[in-house]
A and B are shown apart, each in its own frame.
Chain A
Amino acid sequence: MAELDTAAPTIRTVTVSVNGEPRSVDIEPRLLLARFLRDTLGLTGTHIGCDTTNCGACTVLLDGVPVKSCTVLAVQADGREVGTVEGLETAEGLHPMQAAFHEQHGLQCGFCTPGMMLTAIALLEENPDPSEEEIRWALSGNICRCTGYQNIVKAVRQAATAMREES
């Protein structure tokens, strides 16, 4: 058997574009993307809920596609784009999705909110005018224990309208 020392950490340099900003960092391959964002980069808007691929609180966009960042290795994001909740607000103010969650009271404790908003934004990219059923279907991998989802759905519908008018 070939010699391979896994007792000593192997370090790899990865370059990930996070919210449009290239970040080059030395990491261990076993570092999860969620931990990379929170602990290495200090972007704590990405929440870790269940840590078992169920709840969706850690959802981020990887090349625009929602993924559960507790179930992706940071090395897999090498050379790719990661979008987190911190990237939503611009100089002009809140993202229409953030504004809609605020106005529609789409959150209570707020723990699931970053993941909810990122999943919803990806949905609107594909389907700018989703029905209530389509919204609920798209968000079915994101769990909220406070709202009963009613106001989350309302918020996504409001954001859809706002974003269609904007474009």
Chain B
Amino acid sequence: MYPGRFEYQAPATLEEALATLDRYGDEAKVLAGGQSLIPLMKLRFASPRVLVDINRVPGLDTLAEERGELRIGALVRHKDCERSSLLGGRRAVLGDAAPQISDPIVRNLGTVAGSLAHADPQGDWGSALMAMGGRVVARGSDGSREIAVEDLFEGPFTTTLEPNEVITEVRVPDPGPKAGGTYLKLERKVGDFATAAVAVHVSFSDGTVRRAGIALTGVGPRNLRARAAEEALAGATLDDEAIAEAGRLAAEAAEPRDDVRGSAEYKRNVVRVFVERGLRKAREV
């Protein structure tokens, strides 16, 4: 399979990349890791006239903590995340998600920001980052703005990014001194998309839940936040009863469908069980 014909540009600066996006609008596409975009182009689901390869733009590969906030640049690969200690511990939901994305070879090239921009409802980063309250920095030629990951996804493969905007980095707020979580994914085999997956993140203060983030993958037209479950946990003690109730509420928030990976009923039950397991793990910190 071959992609359709396109004009290829590999700008040396972000300004140059943005100028090209300004010029060609939605006929241009940004190439980062290419592990979703190139397969789509080979299948001719995407046929951009211009491909803007940002891999030679300096300064986009930062993976660092700054005043408690985690910054993941546009060219940070899944593999960089898998290897970074910054994503473990209080950010275990991110650290546990990274090695479960696709397979080891795809993780060498695929990027976090690219995965978000692709907005696959089965994407793992969307849920993991939503659980931690992550935001993307969207940069256009006339400036930049921040978009909560939650507000980035409009629907399957559709985002609220403007055609002339590029995600330059992902920012994850400081989880506070005591926090835990995990990402639990049921997949048929390595490299498969999730039958269902759950991101759980809890920040604690004085023994109670300060903020809980719960998001679901593979059980809706986009990554879903289990808001009712989060609200029920806020301010609560994370005891068995609260955990069971959160699992029940999260399962209610899922919008699964029957498919080859399982029935809707089965997936909903996986969500309930995974939310309970995830909260029990978060409680261990």
Interface residues of B in 15-33 (CB under 8 A from A): 23-25, 27, 31
A contacts with B, residue count (CB < 8 A): 38
A10 located at the interface, meaning its Cβ lies under 8 Å from any Cβ of chain B in the complex = yes
Structural contact, B191 and A29, CB atoms closer than 8 A: no
Identity of the chain B residue whose Cβ is nearest the Cβ of A142 in the assembled complex: B105
Stretch binding the partner chain, chosen from B5-13, B124-132, B151-159:
B5-13
A83 located at the interface, meaning its Cβ lies under 8 Å from any Cβ of chain B in the complex = no
B104 located at the interface, meaning its Cβ lies under 8 Å from any Cβ of chain A in the complex = yes
Given A67-B108, A140-B191, A30–B5 Cβ distance below 8 Å? yes
Least Cβ distance of B2 to chain A in Å? 6
B106 located at the interface, meaning its Cβ lies under 8 Å from any Cβ of chain A in the complex = yes
B contacts with A, residue count (CB < 8 A): 34
Structural contact, B8 and A10, CB atoms closer than 8 A: yes
A44 located at the interface, meaning its Cβ lies under 8 Å from any Cβ of chain B in the complex = no
A9 located at the interface, meaning its Cβ lies under 8 Å from any Cβ of chain B in the complex = yes
Cα–Cα, bound, A9→B23 (Å):
20
Identity of the chain B residue whose Cβ is nearest the Cβ of A12 in the assembled complex: B8
Structural contact, A4 and B105, CB atoms closer than 8 A: no
Identify which of A10, A28, A54, A72 contacts B109 (C-beta below 8 A): A72
Structural contact, B38 and A73, CB atoms closer than 8 A: yes
Question: B159-179 CB contact bits vs A (8 Å, 1 = yes)?
Answer: 000000000000000000000
Identify which of A2, A30, A56, A65 contacts B2 (C-beta below 8 A): A30
Structural contact, A7 and B191, CB atoms closer than 8 A: no
Identify which of B23, B39, B41, B105 contacts A56 (C-beta below 8 A): B105
Binding site for B on A (CB under 8 A): 1-2, 4, 6-7, 9-10, 12, 28-32, 35, 51-54, 56, 59, 65-68, 70-73, 75-76, 78, 119, 137-142
